[in-house]
Amino acid sequence: MDNFLLAAKVVLPLLIYMAVGLMVRKRGIFPAENFKALNSMTFRIFMPLTLFFNIYEAELKEAVRPGIFIFAVTFIFLQFCVLWIALSRSIKSKPDCATMIQGIYRSNFVLFGNVVAASLCGESGLALVAALAALVVPIFNILAVILFELKRENDLRIGQMIINIFKNPLVDAGIFGCIFKLFELPFPAFVKAPLATLGDIATPLALMSLGGMLSLGSMISHRKYLLTAVIGKLIVVPIIALSAAITMGYRGDALVAVLAIFASPTAVASAPMAQSMGGNGDLAGEIVAATSVCCIITIFLLVFFLSGRNLI
């Protein structure tokens, strides 16, 4: 029951934010067509601030463990390549294909990682998750930009793709966060406080926008895609990742970090990114909603299994 409550503790706030967005639209408080503009603003302003401060404030020195870092990055690239090959053959629509690939490989690691690590590991787990987030989240973002650029309907231009990668606000935020962190550049408190507060509203605002854009009819029409995304994101990927990590001898907080990266639902940022980069924004939002709801059960079962065998 404690494991179920852990998963519910993370997911229920997300569902509440989406429900508020849906209610706002249903009551006509905020017109439905304006939610996409709000989503775009979240992607271009608030989420980059969140990413920057996550990297800037991460405690890296004592938490860096090369083995688990290499494992996480390698598995992310492997699942990205496998998904590209598999889904490119079965999904002919490039926007849908790109959205599905992103929906399965990209996880809500920062939000879920902190809660799961704090509940299962304590300070050592939190430090490891923070250090991994500084590496994993920028990789997620860069891969997403490459994905949507390569899957655009128009002809591919390598030079333009590279330019677009560095024009992406999340990629830029990751780069600046790393620069400020590596060179220990000071950040004035009177500037940091309001910017960090703006970053804090990114997730609630993105989820409210997502709830405001959700359509039951669209979800029904996308039911096959959503079922595939839920099974792939919450069952297939975490089972393979955790099995590989266990085989390699990872236990305790290292295994919890793997659980947080690969068993978390789809990243909230994936919906505004899909919308802004020519993907299927409606489908992306529905994948976030579906995986966020279903992960209550899957995370409970995974934690129950791992803790029952004294692996975490």
Question: How far is the C-alpha of 292 from the C-alpha of 14, rounded, in Å?
Answer: 8
Count CB atoms within 10 A of the CB of residue 158: 9
Q: What is the DSSP string of 33-44?
A: THHHHHHHHIII
Cβ–Cβ under 8 Å, residues 269 and 286: no
Q: What is the pLDDT of residue 236?
A: 97
Cβ–Cβ under 8 Å, residues 71 and 250: yes
Q: What is the pLDDT of residue 76?
A: 96
Question: How far is the C-alpha of 25 from the C-alpha of 22, rounded, in Å?
Answer: 5
Count CB atoms within 10 A of the CB of residue 90: 9
Supply the pTM of this predicted model: 0.83
Q: What is the pLDDT of residue 241?
A: 96
Question: How far is the C-alpha of 99 from the C-alpha of 76, rounded, in Å?
Answer: 16
Question: How far is the C-alpha of 81 from the C-alpha of 101, rounded, in Å?
Answer: 9
CA atoms within 13 A on the CB side of 93: 9
Name which of 5, 13, 87 is nearest 296 in CA terms.
5
Cβ–Cβ under 8 Å, residues 3 and 307: yes
Residue 250: what are its φ and ψ, rounded to 5°? -80, 135
Q: What is the pLDDT of residue 130?
A: 75
Residues 6+ apart with CB under 8 A from 102: 144, 147, 148, 266, 270, 273, 274, 279, 284
**Residues in the chain, total:** 312
Q: How far is CA 160 from CA 36, 122, 140, 163, 170, in A?
A: 25, 45, 20, 5, 17
Question: How far is the C-alpha of 132 from the C-alpha of 65, rounded, in Å?
Answer: 9
Question: How far is the C-alpha of 210 from the C-alpha of 17, rounded, in Å?
Answer: 9
Q: Where are the domains of the chain?
A: 2-308
- Fold of domain 2-308: Na+/H+ antiporter like fold (1.20.1530)
Q: What is the pLDDT of residue 123?
A: 65
Q: What is the pLDDT of residue 50?
A: 81
Q: What is the pLDDT of residue 19?
A: 87
Question: How far is the C-alpha of 266 from the C-alpha of 206, rounded, in Å?
Answer: 13
Q: What is the pLDDT along the chain (312 residues), one digit of tens a residue?
A: 666 676 666 667 778 888 898 898 888 888 777 887 887 788 788 878 887 887 787 766 656 678 899 999 999 999 999 999 999 999 989 999 999 999 999 998 877 776 677 677 766 667 787 778 878 888 998 899 889 988 876 666 677 677 777 777 877 887 888 888 888 888 888 888 899 888 888 878 877 887 887 777 778 889 999 999 999 999 999 999 999 999 999 988 889 889 989 998 898 889 888 988 889 989 998 999 899 888 878 888 888 888 878 887
Continuous H helices in the chain: 2-26, 34-41, 47-56, 66-90, 94-105, 109-120, 123-150, 158-167, 169-182, 189-200, 202-213, 216-221, 223-231, 237-247, 252-263, 270-276, 281-308
Give just the sign of the alpha carbon dihedral 15, 16, 17, 19.
positive
Question: How far is the C-alpha of 37 from the C-alpha of 152, rounded, in Å?
Answer: 21
